[in-house]
Structure 1
Amino acid sequence: MNLITPDFGLLFWQFVVFLLLVFLLAKFAWKPILAGLREREESIENALRQADQAKLEMQQLKAGNEKLLAEARQERDRILKEATTISEQLIEQAKQKATDEGARMIMQAREAIQNEKQAALAEVKNTAAQLSIDIAERILRRELTDATAQKQLVTDYLQEVKLN
């Protein structure tokens, strides 16, 4: 029963040893332990802050990437639109050039036809003049005095000459 109910001296010495142990722990162990806990707490807080900062940076990078991607899409659309516009302009220029060339060729053909027509008319006039001169020459060679005979001669020559 002594173990269950200790004496006052035992309790006293146990209390003194306990106080001595608390004093020694407070003097030598608790400060390093508390300092280590504070350091750990600070490192955890720093790690959390850095994680939050990294999260913010990631969000900023993501937003920047999305912005760059949107700008790249706009640039691509602009380039495609310019290319389409340029191709349409080139097609339109080619059509205009072909139309102008066709009109120029038609104009040249008309001028050539007009020149040929004028040359043919000049040739017909020359032929008619030559025929007139031939008829006049023949008439003068005969030296007809009678008007009816002259008329008959001209009619005969005109029948001989067939104009197309």
Structure 2
Amino acid sequence: LLFIALVLLLWKFAWKPILTAINDREEGIKNALSAAEEAKKEMQNLTSDNEKLLKEARAEREALLKEAREIKDKIVTDAKDLAQTEGDKLIKQAQATIESEKKAAVADIKNQVAELSVEIAEKVIREQLSNKEKQLKLVDDMLGDIKLN
């Protein structure tokens, strides 16, 4: 009897709160497991997204490096071409300058030779014409040459 009375009392006052507590605990565990499963899925998604972003970042970095190399090569090639063109232009200008200076020097030498020749001829003629006998002999020689022709 006491046992039945104890079971009835427990059932009336303690059974419902114990069942409610057990049900609440079971519901909490289910919620925690479901939240853990969701967190696990979200973590996998984040990991997958991170790997995807890393791959994209690496690909973009490689593309930028490739583009930078191409730009560098183009700049170097353009600079070489420009330097070659400028070098050829300077060489042609230098050759033209040398040629013109050479012509000017030759012309100057010719002028100096002509002036020296005239001075020498003038001195020779003065020397020959300074003496009266030499003048008469020169005139006779010239007259002799004219008659012979």
Q: What is the aligned partner in structure 2 of residue 88 from structure 1?
A: 77
Using the alignment, how far apart are the partners of 1:89 and 1:116 within structure 2?
A: 40
Using the alignment, how far apart are the partners of 1:74 and 1:145 within structure 2?
A: 103
Using the alignment, how far apart are the partners of 2:9 and 2:35 within structure 1?
A: 35
Q: What is the aligned partner in structure 2 of residue 119 from structure 1?
A: 108
Which structure has the larger Rg? 1
State the secondary structure of the residue aligned to 1:54: helix
Tell me by how many angstroms 1:42 deviates. 0.6
Q: Which runs of 4+ in 1 moved over 3 A?
A: 19-26, 127-141, 145-148
TM-score by length of 1: 0.65
Q: Which has the higher helix share?
A: 2
Q: What is the aligned partner in structure 1 of residue 52 from structure 2?
A: 63
In structure 1, list runs of 5 or more residues that go unmatched: 1-12, 153-164
Q: What is the aligned partner in structure 2 of residue 77 from structure 1?
A: 66
Q: 1:139 to 1:93 in 2, by over 3 A?
A: same
- Match for residue 35 of structure 1 among 24, 31, 34: 24
Pairing of 1:120-135 with structure 2 (within 5 A): 120-130=109-119, 133=122
In structure 2, list runs of 5 or more residues that go unmatched: none
CA RMSD of superposed structures (Å): 3.2
Pairing of 1:15-30 with structure 2 (within 5 A): 20=8, 23=11, 26-30=15-19
Q: Structure 1 vs Structure 2: percent identity of aligned residues? A: 8
Q: Which has the higher contact order (CA 8 A, sep 6+)?
A: 1
